Amino acid sequence: MKKDLDNKKLYEYRIKYNASPEHVALDNYHYFMSFDASDAFHAHKSMLEKHDLIVQNISIEKFNPYSNNWEDESRLIENLND
């Protein structure tokens, strides 16, 4: 198990969200260090459930340290939102 983790790299993910469709002008971000977007989104959902928050998830982005840019991975939201 440890050997598998040694081969993986943690990346920074940010999840853009807002409180509800009525508050679309007030977007916020949560940042997570994770192995993939799925893990980051599950951590985000877990944190929301812990605090009894209901939000509208807008996007998931992965920070690429080599290009110094955020890469869009929002296509995963539909699959992970279930």
Q: What is the per-residue pLDDT across 41-78, written as a single tens digit (0 to 9) for each?
A: 999 999 999 999 888 888 999 999 999 999 999 887 77
Select the more confidently predicted residue: 23 or 30.
30
Say if pTM beats, i.e. exceeds, 0.85: no
Q: Which residues contact 1 (CB under 8 A, 6 or more apart)?
A: none
- β-bridge pairing 11-18 and 56-64: antiparallel
Select the more confidently predicted residue: 40 or 76.
40
Going across the sheet that includes 69-72, the strands are 27-34, 11-18, 56-64, 69-72
Domain boundaries, the chain: 2-80
Task: Provide the 3-class DSSP secondary structure of residue 37.
Answer: helix
